[in-house]
Structure 1
Amino acid sequence: MALRNALLAALVDREASGYDLAKQFRSSVANFWTCTPQQLYRELEKMEAEGLLAARIVKQDKRPDKRIFSVTAAGREALHAFSLRRPKPTTVRDELLIQVESLSHGDVPSVRESIRSHMADSQDRLAGYERRLADILGSRTDAEFLATGTRLGPYLTLHRGITFERENIAWARLALDVLSRRFP
């Protein structure tokens, strides 16, 4: 159900193709919601069939025609209803933490490498989120954006993603430090 609402939120201000939505998910919405392109396309089809989205065909030269999706009045009502309900609590589901939880002496090198890889991924995502935030702000300061910006949602969710990735990096550094002290 949350993918449906994430798609409605992504389309609420402008129409987009499935391809554009997949790119958008990787660069912005990924800081709080992930899905595969296959999941995204299946959900778009269901939402159109249920009347939450409308699609129009755009003819393209030298490429297949593409479908552009927009939110219908029923989709706006569904998003509004979603906004009124209390969201489910967030839980952490992280395979790396299972590796760390079950750590034994023989596993230290591979777990250490998993932590390094996890930290590098977080650093990459953090850099992307910070670039996206800079794009949103433009030449404005945070205070100027907060006083005049039209869409506060992306600003706030990016800040959440930035905080999350900074914490992932800090934890990875701590874990690597602990492991290097205990298992030099």
Structure 2
Amino acid sequence: MALRYAVLAALLEGEASGYDMAKRFDASVANFWTTTPQQLYRELDRMEVEGVIAARVVQQERRPNKRLFTLTGAGERELLAFSTEPAKPAALRDDLLIKVQAVDAGDARAVAAAVQERLEWSRAKLARYDRLRARLLDGRTEEEFLAGSDRIGPYLTLMGGRAVEQATTGWCERTLAILARRAALPTADA
């Protein structure tokens, strides 16, 4: 159900095609919600039928026609109602944490390699978020942006995504250091 509200929130930025919405998800919403293009297009169709978004067809000469979606009054009211409901805590389900939990019974080198891979992925994502932040700020300080911007939600969610990746990076670095120290210790069998 949350995909529906992520779509409604993304449409606050204005009219968009399905392709544009997928790009918006990759650029901003992906730091807290992921979806496939197929899921997104199915949800857009469903929401149009339900009347929470409206679509108009734009004729194109050298490309297929495209549909542009906008929020309706009903969609705005639904998003407002959603924003007043208590948020459910996120459930963390992560295969890497299971591997780390079982490191003593498994292959510590393989676990360390998986943690290293996550670290690199997290650093890359953090760098991407930093580029998005610079683009949003557009030369302004954070204070200037927050005081003068019409919409601060995308910035605040981006900062949440950055905080998660910063924490993940720190955890991975510490975990790798601990695993390396343990590997250097003699075992009870030695």
Scaled by the length of structure 1, what TM-score is found?
Answer: 0.95
Structure 1 match to 2:73: 73
- Count of aligned positions: 184
Larger radius of gyration, structure 1 or 2? Answer: 2
User: How far, CA to CA, are the matches of 2:86 and 2:109 in structure 1?
Assistant: 43
Contact 1:56 1:68 in 2 (8 A): yes
Shift of 1:105: 5.3
User: How far, CA to CA, are the matches of 1:123 and 1:17 in structure 2?
Assistant: 31
Structure 2 match to 1:18: 18
1:115-130 to structure 2, matched below 5 A, reads 115-130=115-130
Runs (4 or more) in structure 1 with deviation over 2 Å come to 59-63
Any idea what SS the aligned residue of 1:77 has? helix
Structure 2 match to 1:137: 137
Render the CA deviation track for 1:49-90: whole Å, top value 9, x for unaligned: 100111111222332221111111110010010011111112
Scaled by the length of structure 2, what TM-score is found?
Answer: 0.92
State the AA in 1 paired with 2:17: S
Any idea what SS the aligned residue of 2:51 has? coil
User: How far, CA to CA, are the matches of 2:176 and 2:52 in structure 1?
Assistant: 47
Shift of 1:91: 2.5
Query: Which stretches in structure 1 are left out of the alignment for 5+ residues?
Result: none
Structure 2 match to 1:38: 38
Contact 1:57 1:66 in 2 (8 A): yes
Shift of 1:127: 1.0
Structure 2 match to 1:181: 181
State the AA in 1 paired with 2:30: A
Matched, 1:146 2:146: yes
Query: Which stretches in structure 2 are left out of the alignment for 5+ residues?
Result: 185-190
